[in-house]
Amino acid sequence: MPGQLTPGRLGPLLSLLYRYGPPRWSHYVKTHWSGQRLVMAIPYLWLLLFFAVPFLIVLKISFSEVRLAMPPYAPLWQWAEEAHRLVVSFNFSNYLFLLTDALYVSTFLYSVKVAAIATLFCLLLGYPMAYAIARATPTLRNLYLMLIILPFWTSFLLRVYAWVGLLKADGVINNLLMGTGLLDAPLTLLYTDFAVYIGIVYSYLPFMILPLYANLEKHDPQLLEAAADLGAHPLTSFLRITWPLSRPGVIAGSLLVFIPAVGEFVIPSLLGRSDQLMIGRVLSDEFFANRDWPVASAVAIAMLLLLLVPIVLFQRFQSREIGGRQ
């Protein structure tokens, strides 16, 4: 019968236990286990080992106190021999320090601002490109998608270093502008906020285009044809048909760009100003330069909580969209 559990579907070990194990075990395997549950257990186990467990370790360190030893943080709980009891000491000063220190507050706000502006530019550039790819012929569509994915074949670090050669005072852009007579002196492009935006938009633009293309490619072109037959202007058809239908792709692409851009480390370090830090640089300095693991862990937890807000909003939006369609 379809869906009926057979020993051959369980794998060698479970098949052996199913055939020759105790009757209770055989009944449990037959009742509760199937190939579908085994497949679903693999990603859950992966998330448990490589996300949940490290997160709990970092959370524990964030409530510890720094010390000059290895590891450079005090244990959160220890057994007191004199009192014959377990002593647990939570230190909340690390989180209070993040809220009161001007450096961390400005760094958080600057990181969010850079990520938000870069996400907006990615949307303005990526939406027309994704729309053009979705409306292209199948042959050109595959070519365009390959060109979008092609930069990922090169190292991320090399691609960022390439922008250093393009933006520096004697780089390609300044030499081209001065060679054509448009400039008499080179522009200051490198080590500016402009360079950071250029690097982030260039690096994360494919993450905006691909979700938008996946959404726009599913749109029925007959909807726009029907709107045109009814006398609707192309701009009106876009605002009332294409844009509402593409909002899930817009939100998905925006999250894929915004979330990693907030914690970006390489691009601001190579292209940005030295007097304006993003949260990824601060996190690295606390871990490796200052060796203040509790404060660094508190920064990581606070950044994670900050990024959970747009994810929760996106899930609520999707639930409303699904509920509205039903």
Its pTM stands at 0.80
Across 219-234, average pLDDT: 90
Nearest to 303 by CA among 47, 58, 52: 58
Same domain flag for 142 and 21 = no
180 belongs to a structural domain: yes
φ and ψ at 8, to 5 degrees? -65, -20
Phi, psi for 104 (deg, rounded to 5): -70, -35
Residue 153 belongs to some domain of the structure: yes
* Res. 7: pLDDT tops 50: no
| Residue 24 falls inside a structural domain | yes
Distance CA 207, CA 204 (A): 5
- The distance from CA 147 to its chain's CA centroid, rounded to whole angstroms, is 22
Looking at the fold, whether 117 and 196 belong to one and the same domain comes out as yes
Beta strand 85-88 with 77-80 is antiparallel
Mean pLDDT of the chain: 84
Whole domain around residue 12: which residue ranges?
A: 1-33
pLDDT at 291 over 60: yes
Give the Cα separation of 36 and 20 in Å (integer). Answer: 23
Residue 77 lies in a domain: no
Is residue 59 domain-resident? Answer: no
Domain count, the chain: 2
Q: Is 30 exposed, middle or buried (0-12, 13-18, 19+ CB in 10 A)?
A: middle
Cα 14 from Cα 21, distance rounded (Å):
9
Taking the C-alpha atoms of residue 42 and residue 37, their distance in angstroms, rounded to an integer, is: 9
- pLDDT higher for 313 or 177? 177
User: Rounded to an integer, what distance in angstroms lies between the CA atom of residue 145 and that of residue 215?
Assistant: 14
Q: How far apart are CA 195 and CA 168, in angstroms?
A: 10
Q: Given this model, what pLDDT does residue 147 score?
A: 93
Query: What was the pLDDT predicted at 192?
Result: 92
Q: How far apart are CA 161 and CA 159, in angstroms?
A: 5
